[in-house]
Amino acid sequence: MKRTKFFAVVEDDSEGEGVRVEPSEYLRRLRPHEASARLKAHIESLEDDLRQYSYEDLDIPEKFVKARTLAFELEIVREYLAHLKQAHETIH
- Residue 15 pLDDT: 65
| 12 within 8 A of 20, measured Cβ to Cβ | yes
Report d(CA 70, CA 11) in Å as an integer. Answer: 18
Which pLDDT score, from 0 to 100, does residue 78 have? 93
Q: What is the pLDDT of residue 52?
A: 94
Long-range contacts of 50-59 (CB under 8 A, 24+ apart): 50/74
Q: Does the pTM of the predicted model rise above 0.85?
A: no
Say how far apart CA 27 and CA 52 lie, in whole Å.
Answer: 27
For residue 90, what pLDDT is reported? 64
pLDDT single digits (tens) 5-26: 888 888 776 666 677 888 899 9
Q: Where are the alpha helices (DSSP H) in the chain?
A: 25-29, 32-51, 61-91
The list of the chain residues with pLDDT below 50 reads none
Predicted pLDDT at 12: 72
Query: For position 16, what pLDDT does the model report?
Result: 64
